[in-house]
Amino acid sequence: MSSYGARMDSRDRWNERYAQPDREWMPETPAEWLVEHEGRLAGGGRALDVACGDGRNALYLAQLGYMVDAIDVSDVAIDALRVTTEARGLTMTIAPRFVDLEREPLPAGPYDVIVVMNFLQRDLFEPLQDALTPGGLLLFETLAQAHVDELGNDFNPAYLVEPGELLRAFARLEVVAHHEGVAQRSGGPRGVAGIVARAPGV
């Protein structure tokens, strides 16, 4: 799931897209920003994959030893992920759940790792920090202003993070890594901003 673009009805919109037989826009491999920081994810624990889509990042976290709550507004995507978890014997490891975060709260946690990729809902910034365990990691990446300014894409500015916005939004956390600008994502250039940040306490 993603909040990219103007919202009509999130559930219907994303159900329609996930129901398409050819979904090249959602690759099978985990998000590059997540893979780049695999070394920080040793040890396993409890993880939350926000806007999980068809579960590529949830599956990756499960392979790293995490028990994963995978949430999305699309029940089509959640049903597909349930089928995948059953086929791979991961029903005790990944818990797919339909959650509409525009109407329901973020799961309370606490979580050792929270992953948010290609999704932007600003009123979740504080709850995301609250849901981390002491020392827990947040890995967040989404489209940024560079997607328009540097790549010339036409995009709703409400769904682009501003320069420095993630640093300001997650100021309660210790920044481990941060980047802004054009990067290769899903087979092509995208203007993105990403942060890896750790909750205080350990």
Least confident range from 13-17, 91-95, 135-139, 170-174: namely 13-17
CB-CB contact of 49 with 55 (8 Å) = yes
* Whether residue 198 has pLDDT greater than 70: yes
Q: What would the pLDDT profile of 45-59 be if each residue is shown by its tens digit? A: 999 999 999 899 999
| Residue 44 or 130, more confident | 130
Residue 4 pLDDT grade (very low, low, confident, very high; cuts 50, 70, 90):
very low
CA–CA dist 105, 114 (Å, integer): 15
CA angle 30, 73, 144 (to 5 degrees): 55
pLDDT category of residue 3 using cuts at 50, 70 and 90? very low
Domain ranges of the chain: 10-17+25-198
**Residue 100: what pLDDT?**
94
Helix (H), strand (E) at residue 123: none
Say yes or no: domain 10-17+25-198 is CATH 3.40.50.150: yes
Determine the Cα–Cα distance for residues 44 and 57; give it in Å rounded to an integer.
Answer: 14
Q: What is the pLDDT of residue 26?
A: 42
What is the pTM for the complete model shown?
Answer: 0.87
Tokens coding 122: 């600003």
**What mean pLDDT comes out for the span 7-21?**
54
Instruction: Name which of 1, 102, 101 is nearest 56 in CA terms.
Output: 1
